[in-house]
Structures are given as C-alpha cells and as structure tokens.
Structure 1
Amino acid sequence: MAPKLAHTPPIPAITLENAGYSVAGRAILADLTLTLTEARIGIVGRNGSGKTSLLRLLSGLVPPTTGAVRVDGLDPARDRKAMLHRLGILFQNPDHQIIFPTVAEELAFGLHQQGQTKAAASAAVRALLAQHGRSHWHDRPVSALSQGQRHFLCLLSVLAMAPQTILLDEPFAGLDLPTQIRLTRALAALPQRLILITHDPVALAGYDRVIWLDGGRLRADGAAGAVLTTFTAAMDTLGAADADTDLPD
C-alpha cells in the first residue's frame, strides 16, 4: 500500500443523515448516514449501485428526496454560491463539463463565478497554466485537445477555484496508461480532500476510507484495506458465475 500523504489541516465534514434519493418513485439511494472527514475517501460498487448519484447528492447537483446532506453545515443544493469554495466535481466525461471554446475561457469561468474581476481571473489562469507546464494551451481551442488533455483541463478548472473537497467520478475512464499515470500523480499531490468513485481497487491504494454501495445502500464502510479485500472477493465470486445471474430479470 502506498504511504499516507501529508495533508493540510482538517477540512470541515460532509454529513448525510438518513439521506435518500428517488426518481419517479424509484429509490436510487436510501438510508445513508455518513460523516466524511478523511482526506482520501473511495466509493466502490457495481454499475447501477448509486455511486454517481451519491456524488451528485454530495455536490448539491440534486437534493435528497429524504433526509439531509450538509457540507460544512450548509445545504449544498440550496446554497450553491457557498459551495464554490467548498466543493469541486470532476465528471467522468469531460465533454459533459466543458462549456467554452478556448482553454482560457474555460478556466476563467469558475473564477468569475467566485467574484474575481476579469483582470484577476486572467492573471490566475496564466499562473495556473504556467504552474502545470501548459502555458501554450492558453488560446488553444478546446476542440484541439485530446480526450486526456480535455480531462486534465477539467481538473485544472476545478483546481483554479481551490475548493476544499474534490469529487471525482471515474477520472481514469477512457484514458491511456501514460495519461492515467500523470493524472494519478497530479491527484496524489493535491492538499484537498478527494472523494473518488472507481471500479479499480488499485486506484485506492493509500486511501483512508472506502464506502461500498450496493443497490443504493451502504454495504460496507471502513478502513480501505478491509473493505477492498471484502469487495474484491465478492466481485471475484460474481465474476466466476455466469454473467449477471445475480441480477433480477
């Protein structure tokens, strides 16, 4: 297991109290009570287990149908402005996140939302690109970037806003191995709390805590090593059986 990382002082907790989320009367998440304080938290589970819905609930993109979600004591779905400094989210598909035609415009957008002037945002964008060795990207059309480069641009857009917690939905999906390695290195060096959805237990090496969702409910929650061992064994058992025989018709 990778060594524990040094982090900044504790970040305020994210709490869920009997939180649930339903769509058209169908429960996607149910009875979730969690207090998230650790610096590195993983979320695992099969497709359709509610992982992405949980991330959307934490970020305030959707409100809970039942119960409550609080970030630093605030309701993320109601106080979106306060969340700009507290939460950032990196989606699985960068094309679902990018909205501007050039790199500089994309990076400046969040800074404008936070109240920075055009001049201040422009200076911050140039400094951020220089810090990451991407100054030559400044005026580049987003359409000219590869999939991996667009994914990295989305990460830079989140980092520009300096949120306390970054939520990541399968950030390595669709990336080639060199890009995965670079992104892993970039994420590992961040001082922010990371909450990472992944299918790959290896990606959670060195993490403090892992939450296992199954059918929208909490299956296990605890130290990463113990939960991942149980999760991997369960997935191996399912993989040894005929495809999807455990799922309802």
Structure 2
Amino acid sequence: MIEAVRRESPPAGCPHLSGAAEGIIFEEVQVRRADRQVLAIPDLCLNERRVGLIGDNGSGKSTMLRLMNGLHLPTRGRVAVAGLDTVRNRKDLPAKVGFLFQNPDHQLIFPTVVEEVAFGPAERGVSAPKAHQQAMALLERQGCAQWADRNVNELSGGQKQLICILALLAMEPSILLMDEPFASLDLPTRLVLYRRIMALPQRVVMASHDFELLAEFDRIIWLDAGHVRLDGRPAEVLPAYRAHAMIVGVGDALA
C-alpha cells in the first residue's frame, strides 16, 4: 500500500512559506461543504514552472485549482498566489492568475475571436481601439490572425481552447491554472496544444489524466479523497498512481 507523503519542511525554493512571493502557498487549508470535508492540505508551496495535479474523479483537483484563483475560498487556512491572499485580495487575482476551464464553451462569451481576446485588456482599462490592436498583435504572434473575425462557434474544439488560452494571455498573468484542458480533444490536437502550453513563459498548474504529457512536468501532486497522497517528480508519482489504479480497477472488477 502506498503511504501518503507529506513534506515536513517547505520544498526547495521556499525557505519560508510566507516569503514565496511568486509561488502558490497553502497553509493549513481545509474546504468543507455541509458536513463533509472536500479538501485538506497542510503547508504546501508550489514554486515549480510546471505542476500537474492527478487523482480520481472527485479527489479534489478542481477544488484545489479554484482555490488558487479565488473561485472557491477556504473554510479555514490560507491560500496565497503570487503574493496575493485569495480572500483579502480576491479582486486583484485576475491580473495575476488566468483560469482555463475544461470546456471552452463555458469560457467564450463574445461572438468573434478578436473580441474575445480584446476583452481582457479592455477590462483592465485599455481603450477599445488599443485593446483591439493588442488582440490582433497577439493573434499575429501566435499565427492565428486569420481567425480574428471568425465566429467562435465555427471553431474546432482545439481552436476554441487555444483562443481561450490567448484570451488569458492577453491579460498578461504570471500563472495559468488549467482544468483538464485536453479532455475533449483528439490526440493530434492535444499534442499541438500541449507544445504551445509548454512553450509559455507563465507558471502552469494543470489537472489532467493525460499522463504521457504530464511526464515532462517538474512536479506532480496526487490527490486522494481531498488529501495529498504523493508529491514529487513525475517518474515517482505517475507510476505509483498507475499501480494504485490497476489494483482498484481489478478489485472493482472482482467485486
């Protein structure tokens, strides 16, 4: 049986949890709904460039991601992202943190691609013409300028997901949170989108079941029933989770 691994001291790069201004910090965090505990994370500091979250459905991955951008608030404890407390500084988080939903249709709100990408800068106070200019420049840099006037409903699933990412990048965040971004995409589209994501300068925290892609990440956190079951390098954590899943799967089949 694989035992839970808890870091007794902050990981390298976090000599003191309160001093990790550019990282993501969990301090004695609990999330409860009604009388049920959904998530319980003691001291944890995410300072790596690429962090993956894995675990069974309902293990707490989405809740953990939503704590990082203030969509969920902790019942107790503290979450800080890039130096911002997610409770006290909730309104300031969009300038630092971008969140990518699993289904792009839940994120796209404007009829055309350029309007979608220009929305973020406009919300930050950039004039409409300037926001349009910035959006076009970003689309051009990403090789997507020909999509500018296309209706978002005409795009493929992969194209929609890419436009959602570009709309987040237009806000110039330092951290991107991604909840199962490849779930509805075929393999060629996943690989193209993955290469684009890996080339981004932003810190990325991604929940995913696509272990082949997560193998190139810097750190993997395995959540199990709202707790950190294992935390380490992909070569350590991914095989352990696979072994666990095989045992559980065989057990269910024989039940």
**Fold shared per TM-score above 0.5:** yes
Segment drifting more, 77-86 vs 34-43: 77-86
Contact 2:27/2:77 (8 A) holds in 1: yes
Aligned to 2:240: 230
The corresponding residue for 1:61 is 71
Contact 1:103 1:140 (C-alpha < 8 Å) held by counterparts: yes
Amino acid at match of 1:213: L
In 2, Cα distance between equivalents of 1:132 and 1:73: 30
Instruction: State the aligned residue count.
Output: 236
Which residue matches 2:144?
Answer: 134
**Runs of 4+ deviating beyond 6 Å:** none
Question: What's the offset of the Cα at 1:178?
Answer: 1.7
Give the Å deviation of 1:132. 1.5
Tell me the secondary structure at the aligned position of residue 216 of structure 2.
coil
Q: Is the 8 A contact 2:158 2:193 kept in 1?
A: no
Is 1:155 aligned with 2:180? no
Structure 1 unpaired stretches of 5+ = 1-9
2:155 to 137, 145, 159: 145
SS at match of 2:209: coil
Equivalent AA in structure 2 for residue 46 of structure 1? D
In structure 1, give the amino acid aligned to 2:102. Answer: Q
The match for 2:15 is none
RMSD: 1.7
TM-score with structure 2 setting the length: 0.87
1:108 corresponds to 2:83: no
Residue 75 of structure 1: how far off its partner (Å): 1.6
2:3 alignment partner in structure 1? none
TM-score by length of 1: 0.89
| Inter-partner Cα distance in structure 2 for 1:25 and 1:41 | 30
Q: 1:96 offset after TM fit, Å?
A: 1.1
Q: Percent identity?
A: 47
Cross-structure match for 1:211: 221
Q: Indicate the residue corresponding to 2:12 in structure 1.
A: none
- The offset of 1:187, in angstroms, is 0.7
CA distance in 2, matches of 1:244, 1:11: 49
Q: Give the Cα separation in 2 of the matches to 1:53 and 1:244.
A: 32
Instruction: Read off the aligned partner of 1:197 and give its amino acid letter.
Output: A
List per-residue Cα deviations over 1:32-87 (Å, max 9, x = no partner). Answer: 42111011111000001010011001111111111110112322244244222311
SS at match of 2:137: helix
Is the Cα–Cα contact under 8 Å of residues 62 and 77 in structure 1 kept in the other structure? no
1:84 aligns to 2:94 (yes or no): yes
Gaps of 5+ in 2: 1-19
1:211–1:218 CA contact under 8 A, matched in 2: yes
